Structure 1
Amino acid sequence: MTEWTRVREERRIFEDEAVLALDKPVGVSVMGERHDTDLVTMARAAGEELFPAHRIDKVTSGVVLFARELRFHGDLTRQFNRRTVEKAYLALTRTRGVPETATIDLPLSVGRKNRVRIAANRADIVALPADAGHSAPDGGGMLWTVPAAKTFPHVRTYPSITRIARVWQGDQHTLLVARPVSGRRHQIRVHLAWIGHPIEGDPLFERAPVTRTFLHSWQLAYDAAWDGGRRRFTEAAPGADFWAALDPAEAAAAAAALAGFTAPAAF
């Protein structure tokens, strides 16, 4: 059995004539890895050609969608580009105090060493409660934003919005669902870190992390043009390693809260 055969069999969520949805393990890239292997290269070496409809970071686990033939690829990528695909991620932070719902509306830019950052100084980020007369885009109980006059004028900026909802809060940790409205590189990771709630184990913001990055691509919904345009929903339940930062009692409580989670209307 090849490595690809094992991954395909153990990690397959859904498959038909057009697409293959996998639950990507942590530590494996979707494609384009220079020195290590990646899923596309592994598949090609085993005689299967796959075309990624999108990417998730190497440190992120969870749902990733591939077209099995090139003729299906264009429509899928257009859906991601047009932001008609619904995406939901799970993030575990070693912080407390995240609002029940919130919107992070902070532009991104690329800084030194190709690092993604907010296109403003951290001190200029403001948190505005909705009940103070400041409405978050698409609702949301809190809005993190930066005044337009404080956005860096000397770099290219990328408008970026992430909606978050609190699922569970323990003694030290918080479990969040994050929905990226825009789909920028490292968006969720940078947005959460810059509002003071970095994802635990994230090497972008934690020196020499000793755990995995606790970010998981949880749900994906898209239109299957080859199946009469039906809306497809795909979910990858987080594995045991996703709860490893919590003690057993808290892990059970967080998993139970997730099982009973209903997205707020504003989310």
Structure 2
Amino acid sequence: MKITIPIPQAFPDLTVKEVLEDYFLIPRKIRHFLRTKKHVRVNGELINWQSPILAGDLLELTFDEEDYPEKSIPLGQADLVEELYQDEHLIIVNKPEGMKTHGNEPNEIALLNHVSSYVGQTCYVVHRLDMETSGAILFAKNPFILPILNRLLEDKVIYRDYLALCQGQLKMTDWTITDKIGRDRHDRRKRVVDNRKGQAALTEIRRLETTGKSSLVSCHLQTGRTHQIRVHLAHHGHAIIGDPLYSTISAPRLMLHAQKLSLTHPLTLEKISVEARSESFEREVKKTGFN
């Protein structure tokens, strides 16, 4: 696997060693192989690891099979993938509701398998969407970019915005929920608010429209706990309509949709922002009386 990276103008002032170790998060063993095999070049030339990387440089990294052993998974159906953005390192797609992000068993086919078929190589999960949730989701196209994207997710600079149709009238226009979330001891499928032992979770809610019985809201995630939006809203009496675990109001689907995903590409520094639509979500919203 060969990775070629044109260094953009606003790239941090770092040495070759710092770029590989601190910015690209390449493991020590693999950095050792890169060095001993002379698999790092800048502008086609071998370079001292303490040399600075400059804007306009072309950084070339060559990885052997032993560096990143090839991972093979069953391929799915490429025609089920709706691409929102793609380059040589990552792909963002529009996940349909009712499809798992990845399988729980080795031969189980899920969105990851369909995306890998679409791309023509094994891809890697960066973050999940619940099976019942639709919308924008990000995958890494190679094991080199995966830890870099994971760090962006941990640093909360991959921005995710959702639309939700929930029960009742929200009184506040803007609302921040900070309840901690833990496992439900009585039902392994569910999560609950547990402010004593749970994990920190922060959801920002904005009311868009409201009727007598329901509210359409925008939700911005600052953390990514399992079922976070679903649990936060349900705990405060505003369960998402159609939620099979937390709501008593049924609908043809869970009324939660990942509408927008934004990030700055860690290699090109390009600002990427995509929006996903869901006909089924929009249809059910209109049935409820919203515009």
Give 1:99 shift.
1.1
Structure 2 vs 1, CA of residues 49 and 242 (structure 1 numbering), >3 Å: closer, same or farther?
Answer: same
1:40 is aligned to 112
Task: Say yes or no: does 1:118 pair with 2:193.
Answer: yes
Structure 2 vs 1, CA of residues 3 and 250 (structure 1 numbering), >3 Å: closer, same or farther?
Answer: farther
- Separation in 2, partners of 1:59, 1:66: 18
Task: Say yes or no: does 1:171 pair with 2:244.
Answer: no
- Separation in 2, partners of 1:222, 1:22: 14
- Separation in 2, partners of 1:63, 1:78: 19
Structure 2 vs 1, CA of residues 226 and 102 (structure 1 numbering), >3 Å: closer, same or farther?
Answer: same
The Cα RMSD (Å) is 2.3
Whether the aligned pair in 1 keeps the contact of 2:93 and 2:137 (CA below 8 Å) is yes
Whether the aligned pair in 2 keeps the contact of 1:28 and 1:59 (CA below 8 Å) is yes
2:237 is aligned to 196
Task: Say yes or no: does 1:30 pair with 2:105.
Answer: no
2:27 is aligned to none
**Which of 272, 277, 281 pairs up with 1:232?**
272
Counterparts of residues 64-213 of structure 1 (less than 5 Å): 64-112=137-185, 113-114=187-188, 115-119=190-194, 151-152=195-196, 156-206=197-247, 209-213=250-254
Structure 2 vs 1, CA of residues 247 and 210 (structure 1 numbering), >3 Å: closer, same or farther?
Answer: closer
Aligned partner of 1:224: which letter?
Answer: H
Give 1:14 shift.
1.1
Structure with greater Cα Rg: 2
Structure 2 vs 1, CA of residues 75 and 174 (structure 1 numbering), >3 Å: closer, same or farther?
Answer: same
Task: Say yes or no: does 1:245 pair with 2:284.
Answer: yes
Give 1:74 shift.
1.3
Whether the aligned pair in 1 keeps the contact of 2:92 and 2:137 (CA below 8 Å) is yes
Aligned partner of 1:33: which letter?
Answer: N
- Separation in 1, partners of 2:141, 2:155: 21
Structure 2 vs 1, CA of residues 246 and 162 (structure 1 numbering), >3 Å: closer, same or farther?
Answer: closer
Structure whose residues are more often helix by fraction: 1
Give 1:173 shift.
2.2
SS at structure 1 position matched to 2:254: coil
Q: Deviations over 1:20-62 (max 9, x none)?
A: 1110000111113348531123445675311111111111000
TM-score, normalising length from structure 1?
Answer: 0.73
- Separation in 2, partners of 1:201, 1:78: 33
Higher RCO by CA contacts (8 Å cutoff, separation 6 or greater): 1
Give 1:96 shift.
1.1
| Percent identity for Structure 1 against Structure 2 | 25
Structure 2 vs 1, CA of residues 85 and 191 (structure 1 numbering), >3 Å: closer, same or farther?
Answer: same
SS at structure 1 position matched to 2:230: helix
Aligned partner of 1:215: which letter?
Answer: L
Whether the aligned pair in 1 keeps the contact of 2:140 and 2:146 (CA below 8 Å) is yes
- Separation in 2, partners of 1:15, 1:63: 13
Task: Say yes or no: does 1:59 pair with 2:99.
Answer: no
SS at structure 1 position matched to 2:280: helix
- Separation in 2, partners of 1:247, 1:66: 31
- Separation in 1, partners of 2:211, 2:239: 16
- Separation in 2, partners of 1:82, 1:220: 15
SS at structure 2 position matched to 1:225: coil
Q: Deviations over 1:75-111 (max 9, x none)?
A: 1111111212111111011311341001111011112
SS at structure 2 position matched to 1:244: helix
Number of aligned pairs?
213
Give 1:201 shift.
0.4
* More deviation, 70-79/203-212: 203-212
Runs (5+) with no aligned partner, structure 2? 1-74
Give 1:15 shift.
1.1
**Which of 70, 73, 77 pairs up with 1:4?**
77
Give 1:244 shift.
3.2
- Separation in 1, partners of 2:109, 2:76: 10
Whether the aligned pair in 1 keeps the contact of 2:205 and 2:218 (CA below 8 Å) is yes
SS at structure 2 position matched to 1:83: coil
Structure 2 vs 1, CA of residues 66 and 246 (structure 1 numbering), >3 Å: closer, same or farther?
Answer: closer
SS at structure 2 position matched to 1:226: coil
TM-score, normalising length from structure 2?
Answer: 0.67
Structure 2 vs 1, CA of residues 169 and 160 (structure 1 numbering), >3 Å: closer, same or farther?
Answer: same
Runs (5+) with no aligned partner, structure 1? 120-150, 254-267
